[in-house]
Amino acid sequence: MSIELLEKEQELLSEIGKRLDQIKASYAGVVPEKVDIGRLTQEMGERAHELHMSLKNRGIDPKHHAYMIKNRELEPDHEEFYMHVHPVEDLLAFIDDPHANDDPVDQTVGHEFTFTVFSRRWGHDDTYTLARTDMGWDVKFTHSGPCDKGGRPFLYSNFNNDMVEYPAGLEGHLEWLWDRASDQGLSHDAVQSALVELANWVKATTESAPRGSVWEGY
């Protein structure tokens, strides 16, 4: 059920919508004439802020996705919060449906996952257990303990101990996965599937490392 707007709020909504459409059309390259994106964004943002505050003053506090506030690094009441297409789209979605921006429930904090890699030191696969925590991951293997979202320090101390090579981007991918599990409420199976992809990436990196000849014993 959409929010019933006052006459002035309806006018603001119409003005916001016109500018948003122009901006998106310009980005898509379907506007023949040159469009001043900066001016349109400024005007759109000012009107969106005015509409936001009008609703809030009536006891209707527009809700945004948590990741939107995090990405903007501003509170929704800030006059510059709406100087971007995405938060404006959030505002319009909220007006159409007050529950449109409800964040999904984080389903997997406390869940345990497997992470299988190849150990060059021992010549076989090893399976670690990674439990998702409120702050990151809890690694269970030879070196066990709480880690940050990127898996530091214990995931990598196990790798170093057992001669497991890993790609430079692994830490960032693990953090990305943790955040997506939180922000999007990923299921257990979705998180496990993503971890299998990352573990396979680690195995491929280890197995492609130089060996034999001058590398013997490295």
Please give the CATH number for the structural domain made up of 112-215: 3.30.2210.10
Indicate the pairing of strand 112-119 with strand 145-147.
unpaired
Mean pLDDT over the full length of the chain: 94
As a whole number of angstroms, the distance between CA 194 and CA 113 comes to: 10
pTM of this prediction? 0.67
Task: Indicate the domain borders of the chain.
Answer: 7-96, 112-215
pLDDT digits (tens, 9 = 90+) for 104-126: 899 999 999 999 999 999 999 99
pLDDT digits (tens, 9 = 90+) for 167-179: 999 999 999 999 9
Two tokens, residue 65: 């996705």
pLDDT digits (tens, 9 = 90+) for 7-51: 999 999 999 999 999 999 888 777 656 778 999 999 999 999 999
How many other CB atoms are there within 10 angstroms of residue 210's CB atom?
8
Contact (Cβ atoms closer than 8 angstroms) between residue 119 and residue 110: no
